[in-house]
Each structure stands twice: as structure tokens, then as C-alpha cells.
A and B are shown apart, each in its own frame.
Chain A
Amino acid sequence: MAFLEFKNVKIAGFSAAVPQEKVLPKSRSADYSDADYRKSVGVEETRIDEKFTTSDLCFLAAEKLIADLEWDKSDIDAIIFVSQYPDYILPATSPILQDRLGLSQECYAADISLGCSGWVYGLSLVAGLLSSGGLKKALLMVGDARRAQNENPNDPLFGYAGAVTAVEYKKGERGFCFHHGSDGSGYEAIIVYDGGARNPFTRESLDVKVCDDGVMRNRLQGFMNGMDVFAFAITTAPKSIKKLAEKHHINLDDIDYLVLHQANKQINNKIAKKLNFEPERVAESLTYFGNTSSASIPLSIVAGLKGKIENQPTKFICCGFGVGLSWGTVYFETNDIVISDLVEVE
């Protein structure tokens, strides 16, 4: 059982950056209208601007949060960058961000290749790095600025975002409780087939074909088996949350906010309903930012909870689930945190 607990560590703040450019999702199918599509997936608009990479957005969000926290850059001991859209195949993006942010060369920097579950995985890694007190301050930088996922430019379920979570060592803090899981048998449920070592890029990678779901794509664009992912999400996420709650005797009625990966409205409503969370106790960013992959949980906190929770004890359950297949749930409490204004970049 992949349960983890790290004490003496707390979240200091959250920030997120998105492009200013708004895109209105349009239906990809003749079966339903644009309005029906938006209503059903729950995405009214997203932010997409191909000028930016994930690391650009994370860099801007990090600068904002460091300034708002009044952290001295030389005190930042570690950065973890979680993305499936890094700047290069190699090198890793985190050392580039270390340099771009002007952090010390005595900085632990590593990339993690995970998507929708990535914030929770990244948080457990950061919490583990800090909890013994060897490293004191860390930035968890997450997001996916995905290039077009198919040949229809009006099909943006996915939005661009980069989010930063500042985490610090503090003796006596209760810290974080995690549950993690993986099921690689579902690796094809969400996949970009070509461009890696298994199927290297060739000219044929660019051939546009009709996929099983009727959508035109080349092999560098992401394919998703929507029905399998839906079934996975509505069953696995609630189970993971219940397991964590049971393990640590957490009463879900006492949780102030449930923050789920923002997959689509039907999935999120289903999970919240199964766990008896009323809409007031659920933070969301899907409506105006779409599915932002690993950034979706911290973006929901920035976009949905700023001004509401900073100075009062707040109990969270957050759950990320998706591509891998991979999932993770975390329980933590915040108090005296900074939530930066959303950074919107031109």
C-alpha cells in the first residue's frame, strides 16, 4: 500500500500563471452543439498561447510567489518541475529554471514526467526532501502547455497553465499524508505515440489520420480513450480518497475543501457526489481554464480560494488522477499562507 506521511513541513504559498489569450471551446462532433459540449465537459473557456512553454509560465508564477512571500532566492534549496511538455527532450527543464530564476547552484533540481497526478506526486517528493530539515525551502513547479492535441484548433479541453507551490521545513508541523497508485496496464488510455524512444519521430509521425474516436490527429498529438479514462477516474479517485481517510481516521465531513484534478465536469461532480462533498466545499478551475493537467489542483486553489483561506486553518483533500495511469491523494492543513494574484501573461 503506497501510503506516505511526512511531518515538519508545510505549504507556504501558491501561485499560477496563464496566458491572457482566451479560447472558446467548440464541439468536435456533429452529435452535439458547441453549447452542449461546453455544458457537458464544463469548460466555458481556456487559456492557450503557443508563445509560451510550460516553463515560461512556471517561471513567471515563481517570480510572483517568491516576491509575495518575500523569500530570499538564495534560500531556495530545491525545485521540482513536473510536466509532460518540458522545454527539451534533454536536458531536464528544472536546471534551466534554477538558472533563469537566479537560484543558487547549490540547488537540488529534478524533473518528473507525470500529468494529471503530477502535483500530488511532486508534493510527496518535495515533502520527503524537506521533512528531515536538510533542505529548508522548495518550489514545486507544475503544468502542461500542450501543443494542439488534434487537427481541430477549436477543441481545447486542455488549457495552458504553470503553477508553483512553495513548501518549507517547519518543525512541529503535522505535514502531509499521501496515498499513491499506478496502473501501467492503462498506458494507452492517454498517449502521444511518437517522438520517444519506443517510436522515434519519423516523417510518418506527421501523417494525419482519423483515430478510433473519429478525431483527426498525427502521431505527435495526444490520443485519449475517453470512455476508459472516465471509468477509471470515477472509480479510482474516490477509492483512493476513502483509503487515505480510513488510514488516518479523517472524517471527510470535516474537510474544508476537496480539490480534484480538473478532468471534466461530469467526472468531478461524480467524485464529489460519491464522497458527499457539497459544491461549496469543492474548489474548481475547469470552467474558465479547462483541464490544465498537473497545474489543475494548485490553479483551482489560486483561482477559487484566494482571499478565503489565507489566514485561517484550512483542511484539504486533493486528488490527481489520469495519464499513466497514475493517481495520488493528499491530506494537509494550511494556515498563514500566501496565495498570489493569478498571473496573466500577454
Chain B
Amino acid sequence: MEKFIQLFADLFDETDSSLFTAKTKFKELDEWSSLTALSTIAMVDEEYDVTFKGDDIRNASTIEDLYNTVKSKV
């Protein structure tokens, strides 16, 4: 989980890393956009060999939700 949060935080350039926790509602971050969504899909593919669908991101609210989806697909 810690590793996933770190990898996710690395996708952001301008957001302070202290703002990333399991409970962070990532869509509320200023820097979140459809482009960071694509980076998330790429990161999950590269690091976990998991293919996200758009709905996997749409239905997630927190970073932990994303992580749980990854775990369920590994």
C-alpha cells in the first residue's frame, strides 16, 4: 500500500507529497485531471501488469480504492 501511494504521488508534479494517504480523495486534488488518469492507467500497467478500465478509476474515490482494485486484478 505504501509503495502504491508513493507511485501514485510520483504522477503528480505540483502536489505536496504529504497530501497523499490511503484515504486521500484523489479526484479532489487540484492537479487531478483526465491526463493524470491516463498516467495512473500507465503506472498500474507498468508496475503491476494490471489493465485498468475507465470505470475502475471512475468508481474509485480514495487511493485505497484504486489499490484494492489493483489487488483484485493481480
Contact = CB atoms under 8 A, between A and B. Distances in A.
Interface stretch (A64-72, A221-229, A252-260, A276-284): A221-229
Contacts of B57: 227
A32 B38 CA distance: 14
Contacts of B51: 231-232, 235
B42 A227 contact: no
A266 B34 contact: no
Contacts of B52: 227, 231
Interface string B10-53: 00000000000000000000000111011101100110000111
With most chain A CB atoms within 10 A of its CB, the pick from B41, B51, B52, B57 is B41
Kindly state the interface size class of chain B when it binds its partner.
10 to 19
Contacts of A225: 54
With most chain B CB atoms within 10 A of its CB, the pick from A36, A213, A230, A270 is A230
Which secondary structure dominates where chain B touches chain A? helix
A234 B39 CA distance: 11
Given A31-B33, A32-B33, A228 B53 contact: yes
Kindly state the interface size class of chain A when it binds its partner.
10 to 19
A29 interface: yes
A226 to B, nearest CB: 7
Interface string A209-250: 000010000000000011110111011000000000000000
A234 B54 contact: no
Contacts of B37: 227
A227 B57 CA distance: 9
A228 B42 CA distance: 11
A227 B33 contact: no
B35 A231 contact: no
B38 A226 contact: yes
Contacts of A226: 34, 38, 54
A74 interface: no
Please give me the 3 A-B residue pairs with the lowest Cβ-Cβ distance, nearest first: A227-B54, A31-B33, A228-B54
Interface of B: 33-35, 37-39, 41-42, 45-46, 51-54, 57
